[in-house]
Amino acid sequence: MAEKHLVVQGAVCQCKFGTTPDKLKVNTHTQEFVNDKDGVKKPVASTKDIGTTFEKNNFGSCSKKNNNPCTVNITEWKGFYDHTVLTNGGKILLEDSSGTCAVGGPESVKFINHGQIAQVGQQNFNNAQPEVMQSLNPAVDSKQVTEPEFNADGITLS
Provide the residue-wise pLDDT of the chain in tens; the chain has 158 residues.
Answer: 468 999 999 999 999 999 999 999 999 998 999 887 777 889 999 999 999 999 999 999 999 999 999 989 999 999 999 999 999 999 999 999 999 999 999 999 999 999 998 777 777 777 878 788 788 778 777 666 666 666 667 676 65
Range of the domain at 145: 120-158
The most distant pair of C-alpha atoms in the chain lies apart, rounded to whole Å, by: 74
- The verdict on residue 3 lying in a domain is no
Domain count, the chain: 2
Residues 78 and 36 in one domain: yes
- φ/ψ region of 71 (left if φ > 0, alpha if ψ in -120 to 50, else beta) reads beta
Judgement on whether residues 23 and 96 belong to the same structural domain of the protein: yes
122 — phi, psi (to 5°)?
-60, -40
Q: Does residue 151 sit in the same domain as residue 106?
A: no
Q: Tell whether 109 and 125 lie within a shared domain.
A: no
Contacts of 17 (CB under 8 A, 6+ apart): 59, 62, 63, 64, 70, 103, 104, 108
Closest-CA residue to 109 (of 156, 158, 64): 64
Pair 109, 43 in one domain: yes
Global confidence as pTM:
0.76
Pair (35, 74) in one structural domain: yes
Does 24 lie in the same domain as 40?
Answer: yes
pLDDT value, residue 119? 73
Q: Clarify whether residues 96 and 40 are in a common domain.
A: yes
